[in-house]
Amino acid sequence: MKKVIVITGGSSGIGLAIAQQLVEKGYLIYSLSREKPSDDRLKFIACNVAERDSVYFALTTVIDEVGKIDGIINSAGIGISGAVEREPAEDIERILDVNLLGTINVCACALPFLRETKGFIINISSIAADFPLPFQALYTATKAGVKEFSLALRNEMRPLGVRVSCLMPGDVKTNFTKNRTKAEPEHDEIYGERNKRSVMRMEQDETNGMSAHEIAAATCKVIEKKNMPATFTVGAKYKLFRFLKRIVPESLFLKILYNMYAK
Ligand SMILES: NC(=O)c1ccc[n+]([C@@H]2O[C@H](COP(=O)([O-])OP(=O)(O)OC[C@H]3O[C@@H](n4cnc5c(N)ncnc54)[C@H](OP(=O)(O)O)[C@@H]3O)[C@@H](O)[C@H]2O)c1
């Protein structure tokens, strides 16, 4: 029987690209998202990852239909930007619910099934987890949470045969940029200009970023490895950034980020 992989956020961007490449390699793919993916080769179960019941229902439906889950890829995610004190409380809750709680919900509900198959989890964090971006503090916090959660879970599951890995993409050209919720009140004399400059710079990088297909190809290679890395990124530039982060003193590192994204 085909290997069964469940991808959250398989309706768009990175999740859709991974789903399509895996289908072409002969995997059976379920997308858990709110919208149906445009590609009919993907099985679809409507799911809001922020709601535990919705996730539980979706995963047990997969088990009822095909009897097993060999892998989970958590790609569902949203972005927000703005000064922390300008972010509406409901936007803060929403991003924590989707990006962090959503990832936790899916992992927690899937683990009993993954223990059966000795399967794997790939959680999609972001390079922002290593490069805390001003005016994206909430997004950064969720993605750092996803990374550390994944590392802790990796060791928790090690003796039980479930492999856990965390993908930390850099800038990728997807709908993510246009879907970002922005807290940019009019006439903000304190943060307005710095916020706009920072977000504009970051969004330029995203629109000139890598294709979701490149990210998907690298992810497919990791899936087929026996020993998955604890974390991985794609592209020489981002690998170099992560290396430099490890060797540069923290105060200097933060000053560089300040000059790039907060002046
Ligand atoms: N693009 C980048 O530059 C970049 C860089 C680093 C990391 N990432 C991360 O990569 C992941 C994928 O992003 P992307 O660039 O592919 O963005 P995207 O094209 O906007 O896709 C986001 C996906 O998340 C799903 N989603 C959002 N809220 C959901 C919810 N409550 N329940 C279930 N699914 C939900 C969306 O599906 P529905 O709307 O159908 O629900 C969609 O399929 C995200 O976690 C993002 O943080 C992106």
Is 175 near ligand 1, meaning CB less than 6 Å away? yes
Q: What is the pLDDT of residue 137?
A: 98
**What is the distance between the alpha carbons of residues 73 and 219, in angstroms, rounded to a whole number?**
10
Q: What is the pLDDT of residue 185?
A: 86
Q: How many independent structural domains does the chain possess?
A: 1
pLDDT digits (tens, 9 = 90+) for 80-125: 999 999 999 999 999 999 999 999 999 999 999 999 999 999 999 9
Q: What is the pLDDT of residue 146?
A: 98
- Per the structure, the complete domain to which residue 53 belongs is given by 4-261
Q: What is the pLDDT of residue 226?
A: 87
Which among 7, 20, 126, 176 is the best mutation to test ligand 1's pocket, defined by most ligand atoms within 8 Å of the CB?
Answer: 176
Active-site residue, 126 included: no
Q: Which residue ranges of the chain lie beneath pLDDT 50?
A: none
H or E element at residue 254? helix 250-261
In DSSP notation, 14-63 reads HHHHHHHHHHHTT-EEEEEESSPPS-TTSEEEE--TT-HHHHHHHHHHHH
Ligand 1 center to 177 CA (angstroms): 10
Q: What is the pLDDT of residue 229?
A: 98
What's the CA dihedral at 113, 226, 228, 7 to 10 degrees? -40
The letter for the amino acid at 163 is R
Q: Is 248 helix (H, G, I), strand (E, B) or coil?
A: coil
Ligand 1 center to 28 CA (angstroms): 21
H or E element at residue 166? strand 163-167
DSSP 174: S
Catalytic entry in 75, 143, 150, 191: 143
Is 123 near ligand 1, meaning CB less than 6 Å away? no
User: CATH number for the domain including 216?
Assistant: 3.40.50.720
